[in-house]
Amino acid sequence: MIRTQRLAAGVCALLAALTAGIAFPAGANADETTATAPKVDLVIDVSGSMRAKDIDGQSRMAAAKQAFNEVLDATPEEVQLGIRTLGANYPGDDRKTGCKDTAQLYPVGPLDRTEAKTAVATLTPTGWTPIGPALLKAAEDLDGGEGSKRIVLISDGEDTCAPLDPCEVAREIAAKGIGLTIDTLGLVPNTKLRQQLSCIAEATGGTFTSVEHTDELTDKVNQLVDRAADPVVTPVATTGADQCAKAPTLKSGLYTDREEFGQQRWYRVDVPDGYELRASVSAAADREVNPSYGLLLRATTERGREIVRGEAAGNGRTDAISTGLRYPKAEREDVEGEVAPETVCLQVTHSFSAAGGVKTTPGLPLELTVDVVHGPDASSDVAAFGLGRGWWLLGALVLTGFLAGLVWGWLSRWRVAVWRTN
């Protein structure tokens, strides 16, 4: 009897151990999935101006609710989504109280579509437009985890709670380096709202969209939520040098750096024979700058001879401008054995200048993309000037056009001669 009890106890212990062994890894996997899940916080303006009926014959609030319901139905399962309001609860005239009126309507996390829709249905246009405070709270909503983080701000009016400038708030969020992007959508925007929402988006590498129809709002929010679920490429921090000889050697990838006003940054890339270098750079004005500025990306040899360049120009208070270049390294068929790759020097220069009283350090953020790929096949139809074997076709077309012109001219003269005879 005792032996039987011991045997039963041993079997129970074994089963418990097996159960724990199965359960804990599953829990660990679930925790890992949650930690890397993309997060989106939809921030909706519920201020009094949302009562205006100028979107497809219905109020802006009704259009937003309809769009939200369709977005909630289409949200990917892996996305953790939340909803935050601004101006939804305080109807009074006290500015101090009104500028604190932002609340989490639905917490960021696994989506219960029915519960979220029920929460959205309760919204009624009410009060102020505290965009800056709402963005700060939304950043807190998205805190934690390693997945992508995105705020989608929908508003029909500019912030009413200055001096907490929402552009400055967005820059502060970007400066934290938490990889949070803010996309903005303006409902029937005027010039001032367009400028403010554009500024907020540009500060974090997001997008601004003007919306005047319900289907446009639905499509754009859906697109942004889906984008959050896309794989995230994390840029690698690097530090360019003041000359090519001291520059870091970069491989294919995405890099970030900062460049001070009036400064040059140099980087090196090794390009083997038969490969092509594709490079692009973006510079963002994360503070107030003077209008009229440019961005230059040059590829040179180690001795300083320019190979190719890309240039861009911009203007405005805040902006992000980009330019790029391509350099194909021809295959040398007359050389046997391995050939050392050519070192190409990349020079980045911008002509931004700081406005009066604006700090010049740290430098403006740069994002550099480097891609070294197999170049065009020398045996293909693509050759010099991009025409290759297409030269014969061009010649044939020219000859055909010439002969057709002669025939048409002869026929025209013949018809005129016949008309005069008659």
Q: Report the percent of the chain where pLDDT is more than 70.
A: 81
Q: What CA dihedral angle connects 142, 146, 148 and 150, to 10 degrees? A: 10
Q: What is the pLDDT of residue 61?
A: 95
DSSP state of 77: T
Strands (DSSP E) contained in 148-284 are 149-155, 180-187, 208-211, 236-237, 253-259, 264-271, 275-284
30-53 pLDDT tens trace? 455 667 889 999 999 999 999 999
Percent of the chain with pLDDT over 90: 48
pLDDT at position 229, please?
79
Residues whose CB is less than 8 angstroms from the CB of residue 259 and which lie 6 or more positions away in sequence, other chains included: 240, 265, 283, 348, 350, 363, 364, 366
Q: What is the pLDDT of residues 364-405, one digit of tens each?
A: 899 999 999 887 554 433 333 344 445 556 666 677 777 777
Answer with the residue of higher pLDDT: 83 or 403. 83
* Cα distances (Å, whole numbers) of residue 24 to 30, 34, 37, 38: 10, 15, 20, 24
Please say if the pLDDT value at position 224 is more than 70: yes
What letter represents residue 362's amino acid? P
pTM of the full predicted structure? 0.56
Three-class DSSP category at 5: helix
Can you count the helices (H) and strands (E) in the chain?
Answer: 9, 15
Give the β-pairing of 102-109 and 149-155. Answer: unpaired
Please state whether 238 falls in left (phi above 0), alpha (psi between -120 and 50) or beta: beta
Domains parsed from the chain with CATH numbers: 37-228 (3.40.50.410), 236-374 (2.60.120.380)
- Dist CA 403 CA 108 (whole Å): 72
3-class secondary structure, 359 = coil
